[in-house]
Amino acid sequence: MNATHLVCGGAGFVAQTLNARLLADGGRVIAVDNLSRGKKAYLDGFAASKGFEFYDLDCTNKEALEALAEASGTVGGIGHIWHLAANSDIPAGIADASIDLKDTFLTTFHLAELAKRFAIPELHFASSSAVYGDQGERAIHEDLGPLLPISNYGAMKLASEAQLRAAVEAFLPRADIFRFPNVIGVPATHGVILDFVRKLKATPTSLTVLGNGAQQKPYLHVDDLVDAMLFIASEARSRYNVFNIGPLDAGVTVRFIAETVRDAVSPGAKIVYGSQDRGWIGDVPRFNYDTRRLAGLGWTPKLSSEAAVVKAVAEIAAQESAQKAFQLHRE
């Protein structure tokens, strides 16, 4: 893909890997991020890259987006929007619905408007398995109904999908909907592995786990995720493509993650579990994620959930040690 890519949420976790791949493929990357969760430091590695630009702006800022598109139009125009911007703090969004409204849905709304105004032909959207909600033991495939999101995050991802579906009917030549599973790797900004690593570094003798540890979820390493996104963008043939992205296995338990983190960070620590099967409102206890549509298209992940967790734990522990060393160095 030799083209100009607008990457929204371009200073976030997934974007770091996506930016690198798009640049390696010869693309031009215009990264946009309001730095509410993303960090400019994540982009240090791209500073020297020809074809990389970063803008500190909010993807709901219509005027600024239009000015950017206008400017980039003179050198070829934007060919792809990659929409990765969202509020990833699910409990914060449940406490204050306006966060997900703005960061998770209105970003989509304004990016679709931008695509309309500047005739941008492809919009690739980071949706989420959270659109399904708690489906119990049902196999979760892309055509499943009813969709019952149990967090504002999931609700606003579903709202975004709906907006894009209508956009495809009216003006947008193509939209890809990537329904992300739990994605792990670095730079980690949130999530259960980072929480556990930080807790154990703060209190090396014990690790307290929300819930009883039996929650089981699929996990995908961010390298596999981005590979799947690029594969779908290249190989899927419909104007509106919805794909679950995930590993082929049924996932790993919170207990497995806790033990992997303990073994890597503080092998002598005691792990203390709660009694509930849910850690917090909006958390889904069990998840049977069907990724056969993507397998049928010809893509398979390199790492299983277990292998992804083992790799990510090592990466995140290293990230946090480096952080610590950096802080000590500054003191």
Can you give the binding site for its own copies, defined by CB under 8 A? Answer: 94, 97, 101, 105, 109, 112-113, 116, 131, 133, 142-152, 154-156, 158-159, 162-163, 165-167, 169-170, 240, 242, 281-282
Q: Residue 285 CB, nearest distance to its own copies (Å)? A: 13
Q: Residue 275 CB, nearest distance to its own copies (Å)? A: 21
Q: Residue 74 CB, nearest distance to its own copies (Å)? A: 26
179 vs 221, beta carbon nearer its own copies: 179
163 vs 182, beta carbon nearer its own copies: 163
Closest CA to 239 of 167, 159, 168, 297: 168
Cα–Cα dist 141/128, whole Å: 13
Q: Residue 159 CB, nearest distance to its own copies (Å)? A: 3
Closest CA to 244 of 197, 293, 277, 211: 293
Phi, psi of 250 (to 5 degrees): -85, 0
Q: Residue 289 CB, nearest distance to its own copies (Å)? A: 15
Question: What are the respective helix, strand and coil percentages of the chain, to the nearest 5?
Answer: 45, 20, 35
Strand runs (DSSP E) across the chain, as ranges? Answer: 4-8, 28-33, 52-56, 80-83, 122-128, 139-140, 174-180, 182-184, 206-209, 216-217, 219-221, 240-244, 252-253, 270-273, 288-289
22 vs 120, beta carbon nearer its own copies: 120
159 vs 207, beta carbon nearer its own copies: 159
67 vs 95, beta carbon nearer its own copies: 95
